[in-house]
Amino acid sequence: MLHSTWRGFLRRCASAAALGAVVAGLGVVGPAASSAAAAGTLQQVTAFGSNPGNLAMYEYAPSTLPADAPLVVALHGCTQSASDYHAHSGWQKYADLWGFAVVYPQTGSANNSLSCFSWFDAAKDTRAKGEAASIKQMVDTAAAQYGSDRSRVFVTGLSAGGGMTADLLADYPDVFAGGSVDSGLPAQCATTQAAASGCQYSNQNLTPKQWGDKVRTSYPGYTGPWPRVAIWQGSSDTTVAPVNGTELRDQWTDVWGIGQTASSTRNLTGGTTESIYDDSTGKPAVALFSVSGMAHGLAVNPGSGSDQCGSTGTYYLNSICSSYHTAKFWGLDGSGDQGGTGSLPAPSGLKVTGTTDTAASLSWTSVSGATTYNVYRGGTKVASTTGTTYTDDGLSAGTSYGYTVAAVDSSGAVGATSGSVTATTTGSVPRCYTGNNYQQVQAGRAHQSGGYTYANGSAQNMGLYNVAINHTLKETSPGYFVIADAGC
C-alpha cells in the first residue's frame, strides 16, 4: 500500500477508481492472446516477455504506419487505465497525424491497491527489475512488431506514471531518446513507500548535482547520449507540489551538464510558460512547462485545432494540449528528426495552397543554394522535388496530414527542416457508427467522465460507461459526433 498521505488524496478519486474496475471487468480490449494489434484500434498484447512487473500491455498504431516510425510509451496515473489514458490524453490524434505507434502499459490493483505505478519501490522501478523491466519488454515487442526506429523511442506519464517515466529515463537512457514527466516526480526521489509523501509535498533540498547523481547511478558507467526531457507542472498542484518541476529541471540539466538558467522563455496558451534549456550545440535538451493555476493532472485542450487535443475528465484538465507540445519538443511532427547535416536554412513560407478529397497542394519560398527539396508527411519523406510546389495525392478523404520541407544542396546534404503545416482533405468522413458505449470510447468517438460516456465534439450524454448501452453516433465533421439513434 501507499503511504497514508498519498492514499488520503487518492480516496478522493473514488468515482475514477470505480470506473477503472468497470474497465477491468470488461476483460481484454481486442482479441484475447493476440500478439499484434489491429491497425487503428487500441488492442491488448498478451505475449511480450516474462513480465516480472505483472503489467498489462496495450498498443495503438494508425492504419498507415510507415516503417522506421517513432514509438511512444504512455503511462497512466493512479486509478486510471490504459484505455482511459488513450481516450483522454490526445496521443491518438498525433499518432494518426504524424505517424507513430503508442504503447500503453497498465498496472492494476494486484500490484497496488490504487493502480499506481511503483515509482517509489527500488525493487520495481530500477533497471532490469519489476515494472521497469516489463515496460522494457513491451518496447522490444512493439519495436519488433512495427519495425520502429529504435533511435526514436519516447516515454511519457502522468502523476505516478510521471514518476515512473523519470525512473525509466534514468534506468534506460540507452532505450529512450526522450521523455515527458507530467505532474510527476524526479527520478529515484523515493526508494521506499515511506519516503513517497516527502517527495510529493516537500522540497528535498538537494543540489542539482545530487539530483543528477540519482540518474547517473541508475545505470552505472553510462556516459550518454542522454534523453531530452519535457517537464509539465501546474502551479496550483497540491498533490505533487510545484517544487517537483524545479527539482526535475535541476536533475536533468545537471545530467546534461548545462546550467539552470533558461536559454529562452516564451508564453503559450492556457497560462503556460515554456522555459527551454539548450545543450552545448544549441539544441533544446530540457523544457519546463509551468501551467499557471492548474491543479494536479494532465493538461489537455479539447478542440479541432492542430494544437488542440484530448478530452476533459478526472485529472484531465483543460488548459493546453501538453501532448502536442511534447510531441513537437521530441520532433515527432517532422520538425526535428530529418535533415540537419547541411548548412542550408529551413524553407520559409510553407503553406497549404489547396486540397481535394485525395490530395493536398503545398508551396514554400525558395532557398538559395538548394538543388532539390525533400517533402515530409508525418515525419516520413514522401517526395523530392526541384520546384517550390508539390501536390501529394492518394490521400484519404476528410483526413488531416502534417507536412514539413527541407532544402538539399548539390552534395546531397539536407538542411534544416521547416515548421509544420496541416492539410485536411475535403470530402465526407465515415458517417455513422453503432456500438456500445465502451466500444465508442475505445474507438475515440466518445469519452468517459465520472462513470458516464459523452460524445466527442457535442458532449452529449450517452449514459453509463459500459457494454450494456448501445448508441449510433453520427460524425458531422471530423472529430465531432452527435447521437443519431433514430437513424443517419
Four-point Cα dihedral 28, 29, 31, 32, nearest 10: -10
3-state DSSP call for residue 254? helix
Pairing between strand 178-182 and 153-158? Answer: parallel
DSSP state of 346: P
| DSSP sequence for 269-283 | TTTEEEEEEE-TTS-
Nine-digit cell at 70? Answer: 517513432
Catalytic annotation present for 311: no
Q: Which of 134, 159, 306, 418 is catalytic?
A: 159
Residue 422 CB partners (closer than 8 Å, separation 6+) = 97, 306, 352, 400, 401, 402, 403
Query: Cβ-count burial of 151 within 10 angstroms (0-12 exposed, 13-18 middle, 19+ buried)?
Result: exposed
Residue 12 CB partners (closer than 8 Å, separation 6+) = none
Q: What is the 3-state secondary structure (H, E, C) of 150-163?
A: CCCEEEEEECHHHH
If one counts every other C-beta atom within 10 angstroms of the C-beta of residue 67, the result is 9
Q: Give the span between the Cα atoms of 168 and 133, in whole angstroms.
A: 9
Residues acting as catalytic residues: 159
